[in-house]
Chain A
Amino acid sequence: MATYKDLSLIDRVFMTGYRFSHFRIDPVPCAKLSKPLAECRFALVTTAGLHAPGQDDFDYTIKRGDDSFREIPGSIQSNSLIESHRSRSFDHRGIGQDANLAFPIDRFRELVVRGVIGGLNERHFSFMGSIITPRRLIDETAPQVARMLREDKVDAAFLTPV
């Protein structure tokens, strides 16, 4: 279960006091798929703080939150992914056992083989979700990733939190 009542007291107090409404998306954008799913090129985007070997860890010491991102190569082996998300608000053990739990790259590869989706992009993206002050995320880093996905001619994106 994951609703506010399942969170720790500290997290619950924070979540109920945090002004989420400040970041409400309005208007809500809507992009129409231009082709069937079986022809769509997909990209994965996660906020699980995952990155490839050799890339810098996310920086948990930044108080407003680390709003940077890592480019995950499409050829990545799921068991080589490193998780540097240091939030104590979630159970890290599942992702430690299987990165597909938050970054289902092997599942999407299987969907390509089965013909359910058209293909996968040559890069995917990872953020670390603990961003208390997401202004720079909204203004800079998220649009930067979005533009790269458009340049890659991605048709659809699948996003996952932790």
Chain B
Amino acid sequence: MCNQTVCLVQAAIEREGIATISITLLREVAEIIRPPRALFVNRPLGYPLGAPNDAELQHRVIAAALPLLERTDVPLIEDFTE
């Protein structure tokens, strides 16, 4: 349900004219709900940035996510491939 809640809050923010990107841990949910931009991180629920105390991995997830903010071909879902 967390993944759905993220998508719904995301849409509200985007409607205010603010570009948004979310991490999703359940691709199936993002495909149905359709947030504007999502990065699917294939990690267990509870681990959206990959792993605790692994700043480099967390930075790689963020680095994969941020460029998606510049895209306007929404809705879009890209995969974090690590």
B49 touches which one: A102, A110, A127, A157 (CB < 8 A)? A102
Bound together, the chains give a CA A37 to CA B69 distance in angstroms of: 8
Q: Is A48's CB within 8 Å of the partner chain B?
A: yes
Bound together, the chains give a CA A130 to CA B7 distance in angstroms of: 13
Bound together, the chains give a CA A32 to CA B17 distance in angstroms of: 8
Q: Is A9's CB within 8 Å of the partner chain B?
A: no
Contacts A25-B7, A37-B70; A100 near B49 (Cβ below 8 A): yes
Bound together, the chains give a CA A106 to CA B62 distance in angstroms of: 12
Interface size on B, residues (CB 8 A): 58
Q: Write out the residue numbers on chain A whose beta carbons fall within 8 Å of the beta carbon of B74.
A: 28-30
Q: Write out the residue numbers on chain A whose beta carbons fall within 8 Å of the beta carbon of B9.
A: 45, 47, 127, 137, 142, 145-146, 159
Contact with A along B62-82 (1 / 0, CB 8 A): 100111011010110000000
B residues 1-54 in Cβ contact with A at 8 Å: 1-29, 32-36, 42-53
Q: Write out the residue numbers on chain B whose beta carbons fall within 8 Å of the beta carbon of A159.
A: 6, 9-10, 13, 20-23
B25 touches which one: A2, A29, A108, A131 (CB < 8 A)? A2
Whether the Cβ atoms of A101 and B51 lie closer than 8 Å is yes
Q: Write out the residue numbers on chain B whose beta carbons fall within 8 Å of the beta carbon of A20.
A: 4, 29, 32-33
Whether the Cβ atoms of A137 and B5 lie closer than 8 Å is yes
Residue of A nearest to B27 (CB): A3
Whether the Cβ atoms of A161 and B52 lie closer than 8 Å is no
Whether the Cβ atoms of A94 and B29 lie closer than 8 Å is no
Residue of A nearest to B56 (CB): A107
Q: Is A149's CB within 8 Å of the partner chain B?
A: yes
B residues touching A (Cβ–Cβ < 8 Å)?
1-29, 32-36, 42-53, 55, 58-59, 62, 65-67, 69-70, 72, 74-75
The 5 closest A-B pairs by CB, nearest first: A129-B2, A98-B52, A90-B45, A90-B46, A142-B12
